[in-house]
Structure 1
Amino acid sequence: MIVRILLLLALLIAPLTAPTAASAAGGVVSAADPRAAEAGREMLRAGGSATDAAMAMMLALSVVEPQSSGIGGGGLLVHHDGKTGAIATIDGREAAPAAATPGRFTVDGQPMSYRDAFQGGHSVGIPGNIRLMADAHRQWGKLPWARLFEPAIRLADQGYAVTPRLHNALKMVAPLWDAFPDIRAIYWQDGKPAAVGATIRNPALAKLLRDVAASGPDAFYAGEHGAAIAAAVTAAPRNPAPLTLADLASYQAKDRPAVCGNYRRYRVCGMGPPSSGATTILQMLGMIERFDIGRLGKDSPEAWHLIGEAMQLAYADREKYLGDVDFVAVPLAGLVDRDYLARRSALISPARSLAVYEAGTPPGAEPRTAAISGERAGTTHFVAVDGAGDVVSMTSTVEGPFGSQLVASGMVLNNELTDFTFAPEKDGAPVANRVEAGKRPLSSMSPTIVYGPDGKVVLAIGSAGGKRIIMHVMKALVGVIDWKLPAADAMALPNIYFGGGSLLVEQGTSLDAMRPALERLGQPVTAADLPSKLNAVERTAKGWRGAADPRSEGVALAE
């Protein structure tokens, strides 16, 4: 009995006492859950590449962090090749099935509420993470495909302890699960959400992982598991919608060009559409570059005011112009054009907030109306670097907490289609991010790699947080580049966002204390709960150093 009690205590405190930072001359990993980080380190110690480590973490997170990410969802990956210096990205974003139409989230011509839309079948996009994994492993993997699955299979088979974050997510969605007995059977015990420290086992997910490990990605998209996905969506207890084996078979991850831009003496690279992360970050950096943010410092209300102004102007462009480039003409070059950003920056005054934040007209833009999309604050991020200098920054998601609330073969299925803009038209014009068959919804996922003045990688970073992801990464980049902070301290900086006509600042932080000074600049300022879940690796004079957001249960581990 005493041994069992000590073991339980160890499981309870492990996420709180595990290292949030780690340094090594060789490889380093960082993830939002210690068990996932350990899976990544296991791959590095077995001689695996950064890609092997990242994919093992993605699979392990599918087991231990089902509220945020998994193979039932999708992801975006940025890769740096340590030998050639090449930067590459893979788009594993979920896609709408063939039956999806622009009116999917409307009733009598009016947009549905998110509450009515996200549960059940019609919010599920075709999962992309396994195809992404296969593409990445083919290009950069070193270990056998099946080896990457071993930590996740052990966790699903042998069980894992419920963390406070998972327990809180279970409590939050508990009132929604009356119609979803399949997911409740996995994560509830004794008629209620599993308690902190309780053991969760998921044999169905373990079988799925074993089958894909043995037979490759087709075992996920076809056969019994493909049929299970299709059946779960088509016969969902709420909002059933067609999703076929043909839909699953047609899905492909896509190699896309990275979007890069210069800020001061650094080069910042990330994902292009369907991600809005890199373009929006580069726009904000371009708008604040004429200001001496470094001299102002992290404790300056003026510095945060300038960041807030650039944020709201960049997000206005995001809502108007960004979407899936396979369906929409996105003026990518124009959005990050230096002259265009100079004109946008000229709208920003250090002494006064703008009354209205409207989209501009970047070079190459077609006439279009802006329409707000609605991502929810879920998701996870993880990073890895190996001894050869390969670097991977990947964000993975099932969208909101526990996605659509549907499960198939033990995995949570995403609700990513609610990232589409529900209203297909505005002012008589089609919305860039409207639903269309085969289309990928706009995302704020922002996996990022930064190159220093010497051309070498200095930082790889990303975050969870829905549409706030972009701002979490942005403030960390400013912290590292302008304020010369270690990545851990930059991630710990206060979070900032906007909404309801107000600038939002993270409550209980130094930024919260600046509210009176910020309000004197003319915009209402509201303290809000703005959690984040950043993970990063950075290059230092002594080698690589990993770090995790102090707000999360995440850790960094050295090889």
Structure 2
Amino acid sequence: MHHFTRLIAALAFSAAPGLLPGQAPVRAQSLAPAPEAATGRIAKSASQAQRFMAAAANPLAAAAGRDVLRAGGSATDAAIAIQLVLNLVEPQSSGIGGGAFFVYWDEARRQVSTLDGRETAPAAAKPERFIGADGKPMRFLDAVIGGRSVGVPGTVRLLEEAHKRWGRLPWAELFAPAIRLAEDGFAVSPRLNGLLAGEKNLARDPRAAAYFYEPDGRPKPVGATLRNPAFAGTLRSIAEKGAGAFYEGEIARDIVATVTGHAANPGDITLADLAGYRVEERQPICGPYRVYRICGMGPPSSGAVAVQQMLGMLESRDLARMGPGAEAAHWFSEAGRLAFADRALYLADPAFVAVPTQGLVDADYIRARGGLIMPGSSLGRARAGEPPNKRAMLLSPSEGVENGTSHISVVDADGNAVSMTTTIEDGFGARLMTAGGFLLNNELTDFSFLPQEDGKPVANRVEPGKRPRSSMAPTLVFDAFGRLYAVVGSPGGSQIIGYVAKTLVALLDWKMDPQAAVDLGNFGSRNGPTELEKGTEAEGWKAALEARGHEVRLLEMTSGIQAIVKTPEGFVGGADGRREGVAIGD
């Protein structure tokens, strides 16, 4: 049967509107109450498959990817279908109004490629964008809400570029699951309902209010059917005409009008900004960890550099002997301090800043940095190092935790893999919904609000056309023979770096299965207090870390890690129990 016919047939036999084949048992498990706190983690077992696997933060999205793989699609095809469905069912986290990083493994060519679909600042953007009338940095939410924070979206161009290179099914077919769900509707999940209930600003946008909330202002209840015919129309246009339909024409005019027409906080995106957006191919950042090779996304993402640094510093420690506990958390947190000190000083858009990337991941440099860690006491606050080929930079404040990011992991039947982290930045982005039925990002608040310190420019300041620094860390792991071993990534703002590094240590040193690895309590430091996840085993390490001089904070650390590990029998997957995702395959 033709690929398209098989895919449409599979969708046509869904058990209910918006449900995809095989969905029901997964949905029953994954749509159990899922509070934001780690104490509400959903208990899950590792998933297994023999031929292929897809993992995403919502079961409907994961099922869309699985069904594309069943129809003969590639890992890239599946990731595209997943992203489009996530825009509907997890709108607070990602979508076509945002950006993404795409890390790809080509099994036949034995090659890693990375594509940068990060949002860009409009041509009219100035370094003082987030300085208020009083000359001080704006409050975060005052900067976020409205058009000022919206960057030129990159996701649609990224998906199209990835499909041109590695897609197998026709482009338009990959839109079928999301179009069906947009038209027929899908059930509001507990997590979406909970986030809507806690959100104070989204309902100020008339389109968002009409879509997400009841007339009395309450969020649509759990189980209520959401339909989005406007988004279905947007997807049909892009499916038929390609990414150009998003960046030019009616959809582009709608984006510009939505951004510039905000009454209190307008932005300045133009049609020329949208038409001029380009995806950048970057050099992968790869490095060793024990017998493994770890690959990820380079600047403007700081994720792979920081993960590589942390693992390199930890390599001389016998973490396998330590196991999860206060001793390992001490070494891990200290490595995090040192990595984040370098991240703050050196990492930014390489088109605007001379980032010493190779120096930062130089093995001798990392070993020297790791030598600063003391076994019995904390560094407190670490200073940036002096990597080879560095140029003087200034400190750029770190971004915080967000809900507006998601991660997709896929391995197809031919062994090709995608690790894609995708975002609209804060939960529900700029709280702006277009007439086309999708939310817009607030990615420009990932720039430093301060353009200067001590009279000198800050590396991650706002500049026209610049891409803000990110912490997203989509990651691929290879074994000693160069074979794909794992596909990992997470949302979580600057905590992404620690979430991914923790998962890699759990998989590679502690030999946990992927579900146990992602569900393990989160811990680490971003060169401030040592952070331990409330309500998990990590909370029990507090006293021992304080005895070593750590300032400890207990936090709700809501990661959303998706991990797939390749085994001789096939694939084993884990989807973070802190969210509603699943890992599924055949």
Q: Shorter-chain-normalised TM-score: which range?
A: over 0.9
Which residue, out of 247, 250, 275, partners 1:224? 250
CA distance in 2, matches of 1:556, 1:154: 22
Percent identity between the two aligned chains: 48
What is the one-letter code of the residue matched to 1:24?
A
Q: Distance in 2 between matches of 1:218 and 1:47?
A: 26
Within the candidate set 250, 254, 259, 2:280 is matched to 254
- One-letter amino acid of the structure 2 residue matched with residue 15 of structure 1: S
C-alpha displacement at 1:179, in angstroms? 3.1
Q: How far apart are residue 529 of structure 1 and its match? A: 1.0
Residue number in structure 1 paired with 2:529: 502
- 5 Å-filtered alignment, 1:417-436, equals 417-436=444-463
Taking the TM superposition and a 5 Å limit, the aligned residue runs for 1:109-124 are: 109-124=135-150
Cα distance, 1:49–1:12 mapped onto 2, change above 3 Å: closer
Q: 1:233-290: CA deviations, max 9, x gaps? A: 0101331021111000000111111100001111000000111000000000111111
The answer on whether the counterparts of 1:373 and 1:420 sit within 8 Å (CA) in structure 2 is no
8 Å Cα contact 2:299-2:350 kept in structure 1 = yes
Q: Distance in 1 between matches of 2:365 and 2:84?
A: 41
Asked whether the 8 Å contact 2:31–2:189 carries over to 1, the reply is: no
Distance 2:202 2:565 in 1: 41
For 1:327, give the aligned amino acid. Answer: F
Tell me, which stretches of 5 or more residues in structure 1 are unaligned? none
Deviations 1:50-85 (A, max 9, x none): 000011001110111100000110100100001111
Query: How much has 1:355 moved relative to structure 2?
Result: 3.2
The separation in 2 between residues aligned to 1:439 and 1:276, in whole angstroms, is: 15
1:117-266 matches, cutoff 5 A: 117-173=143-199, 175-177=200-202, 179-191=204-216, 192-266=218-292
Give the residue type in structure 1 aligned to 2:357: L
In 2: Cα distance, 1:102 partner to 1:476 partner = 37
Q: Does the CA-based 8 Å contact 2:334-2:525 persist in structure 1?
A: no
Alignment partners' CA distance in 2, 1:45 and 1:177: 37
1:370 paired residue number? 395
The letter for the 2-side match of 1:161 is A
Residue 287 of structure 1, aligned match among 313, 328, 340: 313
Letter in structure 1 aligned against 2:517: A
> Paired residue for 2:11?
none
Q: 1:276 to 1:501 in 2, by over 3 A?
A: closer
Aligned counterparts of 2:116 and 2:306: Cα–Cα separation in 1? 18
Instruction: Answer yes or no: is 1:15 the counterpart of 2:40.
Output: no
Which sits farther off after the overlay, 458-467 or 238-247? Answer: 238-247
Which of 316, 326, 334 is the equivalent residue of 2:359? 334
Q: TM-score when scaled to structure 2? A: 0.92
Alignment correspondent of 2:62: 37
Counterparts of 1:168 and 1:12 in 2: how far apart (Å)?
18
| 1:272 aligns to 2:298 (yes or no) | yes
| Aligned-residue offset at 1:489 | 1.2
Q: One-letter code of the match for 1:81?
A: D
Please list, as runs of the form range in 1=range in 2, the aligned pairs for 1:404-443 lying within 5 A after superposition: 404-408=430-434, 409-443=436-470
The match for 1:75 is 100
1:447 aligns with 2:462: no
Moved more, 219-228 or 497-506: 497-506
Distance 1:177 1:493 in 2: 33
1:156-196 Cα offsets, whole Å, 9 max, x none, are 111111111101111121x2245311111111123221111
Paired residue type of 2:381: V
Residue deviations 1:74-123 (CA, integer Å, cap 9, x gap)? 10010000111100011000001111110000124321110210000010
Q: For residues 489-508 of structure 1, give each alpha carbon's deviation from its aligned partner in whole angstroms, at most 9, with x where no partner exists.
A: 11111101336942110112
Matched, 1:313 2:338: yes
Instruction: Quote the residue 1:60 is aligned against.
Output: 85
Residue 345 of structure 1: how far off its partner (Å): 0.8
SS in 2 for 1:35: helix
**Structure 2 residue matching 1:539: 3-state secondary structure:** strand
| Structure 2 runs not aligned, ≥5 long | 1-14, 33-41
Shift of 1:416: 0.4
Aligned-pair Cα RMSD in Å: 1.8
* Partner in structure 1 of residue 35 of structure 2: none
